[in-house]
Each structure stands twice: as C-alpha cells, then as structure tokens.
Amino acid sequence: MLHKLWERFVALVKLLWREIAKFGVVGGIGFLIDTGIFLWLITGPMQESAVKAKIIATAVAVIFSWVANRYWTFRNRRQSNVIRELVLFLIMNGFGAGIQAGFVFIAKYWLGVTSASGMVFFGNVIGLGFATVFRFISYRLWVFTETIEADPQAVHDREVFTGAIPQVPPRFDTPNDSDERG
C-alpha cells in the first residue's frame, strides 16, 4: 500500500514540479498582496468587518494571480477563450475565497479570536493552505486545460489527480522471473 502511494507521489512530482514551483512563486506574491491588504483593512477602515476585509483582500490577490498564472505558470495551457477561462478561474477562486473567509469566520465567531494576528493566522495561513491546494488542482483540471488536452504526452494527467495509480512496467531481471510472469 505505501509503495503504491509513494509511486503515485513520485509520478505527481515528475508531472507537476515546474508548475508547482511557478504556482508557488505566484502564490507567494499573491499571499503578500492578500496579507498586506487584509492587515491594512482590519487595522484601519474595516476594523469591524474582518470577513468582508478578507474577501476584498483575496479579490485583489485573485486578479494578480489570474494574470500571473495565465501568462507565466500555465502559459502553455491557457485557453483561447479568455472569457471562459476567466470565468472558471473566478469561480474556482470564489470557492478558494470562501474557504479562507470560512476560517476567518470560525476564528472570529466560534473561537472568539479578535486580534489581527489571530485572524491573519486563520485566514492567511490555515485557510490559504487549504485554498491553495484546492486552487492548484482546480486550475490544472478545469481552468488552464486547452493546450494540454491536445498534447499526447499529457493524456494521462487527469488520471494522476483523479485516482488512477500510475503503472510501473514489470522488471525482468533474471530468466526465471520472466518465465514465472509469462
């Protein structure tokens, strides 16, 4: 069982490492944009509206993220129908923003967190962690897909995400092994 999970992990890394690295850079810059705006809003003009401030900060970071991901991270996969791509991107980011705002909501209204640093921790560390995983997978499976779907080398990309464990061809080290496997 662990061996198959490790094989799947290695296959994912081989498939995605460049995109993950670029996505990480874009995400890091987006994180700084999101966190900076969120902190400014909850310590200034929106002190009493942390959830709304989180949504606004995330929206600004999303705009940056779409441009950077479209023209850098997934530049070889972007769709020719820009409007469709943008709409899908915004829908997926809406879910991501909901995840992050949900963690701010939990912190403020269920756990009684009132400090700016506590809300940043819940919204921009915990919430962003969950939202980032969701966003990467959704971008790759639904948003930036046109070019890659035409690439014969990428035919099995969806299987890696959706459950098919990559198969490793059997090794035939000795003549006895090949006789047994027939």
Top pLDDT among 169 and 40 is at: 40
The yes-or-no verdict on residue 99 having pLDDT over 90 is yes
Asked if residue 99 belongs to a domain, the reply is yes
Asked if residue 3 belongs to a domain, the reply is no
Q: With bands split at pLDDT 50, 70 and 90, how would you rate the model's confidence at 75?
A: confident
pLDDT tens-digit profile of 12-35?
777 778 888 999 999 999 989 988
Top pLDDT among 15 and 159 is at: 15
Total domain count for the chain?
A: 1
What are residue 29's phi and psi, to 5 degrees?
-65, -45
Asked if residue 40 belongs to a domain, the reply is yes
User: In the prediction, which pLDDT does 48 show?
Assistant: 87
User: In the prediction, which pLDDT does 109 show?
Assistant: 93
Are 50 and 42 a contacting pair, CB within 8 Å?
yes
pLDDT tens-digit profile of 32-74?
998 899 999 999 999 888 889 988 998 898 899 999 999 998 8
Asked if residue 143 belongs to a domain, the reply is yes
Top pLDDT among 2 and 152 is at: 2
Neighbours of 91 (CB within 10 A): 13
Tokens of 119: 């809300």
pLDDT tens-digit profile of 119-137?
889 987 899 889 988 998 8
Asked if residue 111 belongs to a domain, the reply is yes
pLDDT tens-digit profile of 77-98?
878 888 998 999 999 988 998 9
Asked if residue 138 belongs to a domain, the reply is yes
As a whole number, the mean pLDDT across the chain is 81
The number of C-alpha atoms within 13 Å of 16 and in the hemisphere containing its C-beta is: 19
Q: Which residues fall within 8 angstroms of residue 180, CB to CB, at 6 or more apart?
A: none
Asked if residue 5 belongs to a domain, the reply is no
Asked if residue 114 belongs to a domain, the reply is yes
Please list, residue by residue across 14-28, b when 16 or more beta carbons sit within 10 angstroms of its beta carbon and e when fewer do. ebbeebbebbeebbe
The yes-or-no verdict on residue 158 having pLDDT over 60 is no
What is the rounded average pLDDT of the residues 162-172?
51
Q: What is the pTM of this model?
A: 0.64
Domain that holds residue 33: 18-166
